[in-house]
């Protein structure tokens, strides 16, 4: 398995996806080797829950992201070539474009099949706005062409991959993201956790979690704050995550007239995030592009009502007014309506939580996802 991020190196959802899948495959008796990038203070090799993890130092850097990506792919290739002298692999599983060049080279070097999981596309994320954007789009097309099978997490992504890259429909398989329910304890000290973030007992915690980049739509949530506070004076907003848009979003918060109601935490560890999720009164996912939306699953597993925009995979995960509330994207009025709907009716919110938890337990376990993934491996291995 080849991925540029793997815990504790966490940039987005790919790290958690690869960890959950790798561990589930190992539990089912498969030998899993993960090749990824290094992180200061973390060993270059370790075995966790049966998964063998090889971290690779990118010995050259560059301020341009694509150039740096192609550089670290070179070092990943060298690491994998060394490993192939010791281990005979059956199948290579590449995650997204960032490790596709190394994956494609390794596929031809080993003459073994390659499976590609497309977690999102540059076309969907940015609508191809620059030369770098077109270059990423080209690498993504190349990876879908070279892959023996392509895995996507939603029907929405299958349509996007097939339409944009002209991939054959039968080449693309849908296997959803998963969630590790064991990391969510039965209960947490909600009062103590909320006080750490300045939330008093009488106040309502509206939580948003995600990278601070345009496609996450956080700006629309901030613009919804006045309409929520108008009905619920006790509401406070906590925004978890980091990204290059942070300073702009802080400016939007200051301009809203409710700066004291909005807190930016930056990145927080997974254990703290779980505790905060379980202490929230509502989780908002205001994305304008979301191939899957794993944070919505985490909210459902954490027993917090979820308000999400009806874009991409979010509309497939959430059944409106049954397992969560769906609202219009790029629309702060609709977001405010959704948050107010949850905060105004505790009985309905409790019902949403019960339905959502049942759906997560039935559909999104890593064991089920690993079995479906193995079926794809068997198809390409023949």
Look at residue 254 in the predicted model and tell me its pLDDT. 95
324: left (phi over 0), alpha (psi -120 to 50) or beta: left
Q: Which has the closest alpha carbon to 362: 151, 178, 174, 152?
A: 178
Same domain as 318, residue 188: yes
Q: Which has the closest alpha carbon to 75: 18, 114, 37, 113?
A: 37
Look at residue 292 in the predicted model and tell me its pLDDT. 85
Q: Band of the pLDDT at 270, cuts 50, 70, 90?
A: confident
Same domain as 302, residue 223: yes
Q: Does residue 7 fall inside a structural domain?
A: no
Look at residue 92 in the predicted model and tell me its pLDDT. 98
Above 90 in pLDDT, residue 69? yes
Q: Does residue 85 fall inside a structural domain?
A: yes
207: left (phi over 0), alpha (psi -120 to 50) or beta: beta
Look at residue 44 in the predicted model and tell me its pLDDT. 97
> Using omega within 30 degrees of 0 as the cis cutoff, is the peptide bond preceding 8 cis?
yes
Q: Does residue 1 fall inside a structural domain?
A: no
Classified as helix, coil or strand, 56 is strand
Same domain as 268, residue 148: no
Same domain as 222, residue 204: yes
Look at residue 256 in the predicted model and tell me its pLDDT. 92
Percent of the chain with pLDDT over 70: 100
Cα(66)–Cα(56) distance, rounded to whole angstroms?
Answer: 18
The pLDDT tens digits of the residues spanning 99-150 come to 999 999 999 999 999 999 999 999 988 888 899 999 999 999 999 999 999 9
Q: Determine the average pLDDT of the residues in 71-90.
A: 96
Q: Does residue 5 fall inside a structural domain?
A: no
Q: Determine the average pLDDT of the residues in 65-82.
A: 96
Same domain as 142, residue 106: yes
Cα-based distances in Å from 35 to 12, 22, 209, 241, 300? 17, 11, 27, 26, 31
Look at residue 362 in the predicted model and tell me its pLDDT. 85
Look at residue 100 in the predicted model and tell me its pLDDT. 97
How many folded domains does the chain comprise?
2
Q: Does residue 8 fall inside a structural domain?
A: no
Q: Band of the pLDDT at 11, cuts 50, 70, 90?
A: confident
The answer to whether the beta carbons of residues 284 and 295 sit under 8 Å apart is: no
Positive/negative CA dihedral, 10, 15, 17, 21 = negative
Above 90 in pLDDT, residue 180? no
Same domain as 355, residue 253: yes
Classified as helix, coil or strand, 256 is coil
Look at residue 12 in the predicted model and tell me its pLDDT. 79
**What is the span of the domain harbouring residue 249?**
182-363
The pLDDT tens digits of the residues spanning 338-370 come to 999 999 999 999 999 999 999 998 889 899 899
Q: Band of the pLDDT at 294, cuts 50, 70, 90?
A: confident
Same domain as 336, residue 239: yes
DSSP one-letter code for 280:
-
Cα(225)–Cα(319) distance, rounded to whole angstroms?
Answer: 25
Q: Does residue 60 fall inside a structural domain?
A: yes
Phi, psi of 59 (to 5 degrees): -80, -5
Q: Determine the average pLDDT of the residues in 198-208.
A: 95
Q: Does residue 2 fall inside a structural domain?
A: no
Q: How many CB atoms lie within 10 A of CB 8?
A: 12
Same domain as 223, residue 350: yes
Same domain as 272, residue 193: yes
What is the domain-level CATH number for residue 198?
3.40.50.2000
Q: Determine the average pLDDT of the residues in 299-307.
A: 96
Between 163 and 177, name the one with better pLDDT: 163
Between 126 and 298, name the one with better pLDDT: 298
Above 90 in pLDDT, residue 7? yes
Q: What is the mean pLDDT of the chain?
A: 95
Same domain as 32, residue 156: yes
Same domain as 217, residue 158: no
Q: Does residue 235 fall inside a structural domain?
A: yes
Look at residue 127 in the predicted model and tell me its pLDDT. 81
Same domain as 128, residue 267: no
Enter the pTM of the model: 0.82
Look at residue 190 in the predicted model and tell me its pLDDT. 94
Look at residue 363 in the predicted model and tell me its pLDDT. 87
């Amino acid at each position: 398995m080849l991925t540029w991020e793997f815990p504790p190196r966490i940039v987005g959802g790919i790290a958690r996806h690869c960890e959950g899948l790798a561990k589930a495959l190992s539990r089912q008796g498969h030998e899993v080797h993960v090749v990824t990038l290094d992180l200061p203070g973390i060993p270059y090799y370790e075995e966790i829950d049966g998964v063998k993890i090889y971290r690779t130092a990118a010995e050259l850097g560059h301020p341009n992201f694509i150039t740096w990506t192609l550089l670290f792919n070179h070092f990943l290739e060298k690491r994998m070539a060394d490993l192939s002298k010791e281990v005979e692999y059956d199948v290579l599983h590449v995650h997204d474009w960032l490790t596709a060049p190394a994956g494609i080279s390794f596929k031809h070097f080993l003459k073994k099949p390659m499976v590609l999981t497309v977690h999102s596309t540059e076309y969907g994320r940015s609508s191809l706005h620059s030369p770098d954007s077109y270059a990423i789009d080209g690498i993504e097309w190349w990876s879908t062409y070279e892959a023996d099978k392509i895995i996507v997490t939603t029907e929405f992504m299958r349509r996007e991959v097939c339409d944009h890259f002209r991939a054959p429909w039968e080449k693309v398989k849908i296997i959803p993201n998963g969630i590790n329910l064991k990391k969510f304890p039965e209960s947490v000290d909600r009062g103590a956790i909320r006080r750490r973030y300045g939330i008093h007992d009488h106040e309502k915690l509206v939580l948003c979690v995600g990278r601070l980049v345009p496609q996450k739509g956080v700006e629309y949530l901030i613009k919804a704050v006045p309409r929520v506070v108008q009905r619920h004076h006790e509401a406070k907003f906590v925004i978890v995550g980091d990204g290059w848009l942070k300073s702009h979003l802080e400016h939007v918060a200051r301009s809203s007239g409710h700066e004291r109601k909005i807190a930016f935490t930056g990145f927080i560890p997974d254990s703290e995030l779980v505790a905060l999720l379980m202490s929230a009164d509502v989780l908002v996912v205001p994305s304008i592009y979301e191939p899957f939306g794993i944070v919505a699953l985490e909210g459902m597993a954490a027993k917090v009502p979820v308000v999400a925009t009806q874009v991409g995979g979010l509309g497939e995960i959430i059944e409106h007014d049954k397992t969560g509330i769906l609202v219009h994207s790029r629309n702060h009025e609709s977001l405010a309506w959704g948050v107010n709907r949850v905060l105004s009716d505790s009985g309905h919110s409790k019902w949403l939580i019960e339905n959502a938890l049942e759906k997560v337990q039935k559909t999104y376990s890593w064991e089920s996802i690993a079995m479906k993934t193995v079926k794809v491996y068997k198809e390409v291995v023949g």
